[in-house]
Amino acid sequence: MADKKYESLKIENIVASGAIAESIDLVALSEKIENCELNKKRFPGAVYRIQDPKIAALIFSSGKVVLTGIRNDKALADGLAIIIKSLKKAGIDPLKEPRIAITNMVCSYNLGKYINLNKIVVTLNVENIEYEPEQFPGLVYRIKDPKIVVLIFSSGKIILTGGKNLDDVKKGLEVLEQKLESIM
């Protein structure tokens, strides 16, 4: 796959999750770490906002974490390093090797042409398409392999979500483009 073909493909958000400790005292963490909030009435975990890279970490007493706002692998590694350092500073023992994996990528892409969404619905007539323009202006297309959900807008702009890596997203984009070529 030539990367030139996908030059308008842009990562908007990456979500990663996993375990960073056996257990975490959220009260101690939120008291000792700046930009870490705990409000158990509203949410069962601590919210740790990192400024650079700009990431929000949801940290739970079980030692599990969900990271969001990530834009690339370096930001994930840097953000994780900051969290581990903060845990140590708060007197919490992190796992020697945190088990963190990307669980979802959200990407945007521009097909560069107007898309007739009604024509797609009528021509493809498949159950993995949802289009209710009175409810939402985009068409929702669920690709089974790779498991990607695509939001297609008549402007030619699309959002792809559900991929665990950029290869999944690109494969989903290829499936979509093959479907569109057959009807456009």
> What pLDDT is stored for residue 184 in this prediction?
66
Q: What gap in Å lies between CA 19 and CA 140, rounded to an integer?
A: 32
Read off the CATH number of the domain in which 146 is found. Answer: 3.30.310.10
Please indicate, yes or no, whether residues 21 and 98 belong to a single structural domain of this protein.
yes
Residue at 1 is within a domain? no
Q: Does residue 3 form part of some domain?
A: no
The string of pLDDT tens digits covering residues 105-134 is 999 999 988 999 998 888 876 778 999 999
Enumerate the β-bridge partners of residue 47.
Answer: 37, 58
pLDDT at 1: 41
For tokens 């939402």, the residue is 136
Q: In the Cβ-directed half-sphere of 128, how many Cα atoms lie within 13 Å?
A: 11
Tell whether 43 is covered by a domain: yes
Give tens-digit pLDDT for 39-95: 989 999 999 999 999 999 999 999 999 999 999 999 999 999 999 999 999 999 999
pTM score, whole prediction: 0.87
Which of 86, 103, 120 is the last residue in one of the domains? Answer: 103
Same domain, 88 and 140: no
Binning pLDDT at 50, 70 and 90, where does residue 6 land?
A: confident
pLDDT for 2 beyond 50? no
Range of the domain at 167: 111-181
Among 83, 103, 123, residue at a domain's last position: 103
In a domain, 139, yes or no: yes
Tally the domains of the chain: 2
| Mean pLDDT along residues 27-31 | 93
Distance CA 21, CA 99 (A): 9
Calpha distance 87→61 (Å, rounded):
12
For residues 173 and 149, membership in a common domain is answered with yes
Domain for residue 6, yes or no?
A: no
Q: Is 80 helix (H, G, I), strand (E, B) or coil?
A: helix
Same domain flag for 69 and 88? yes
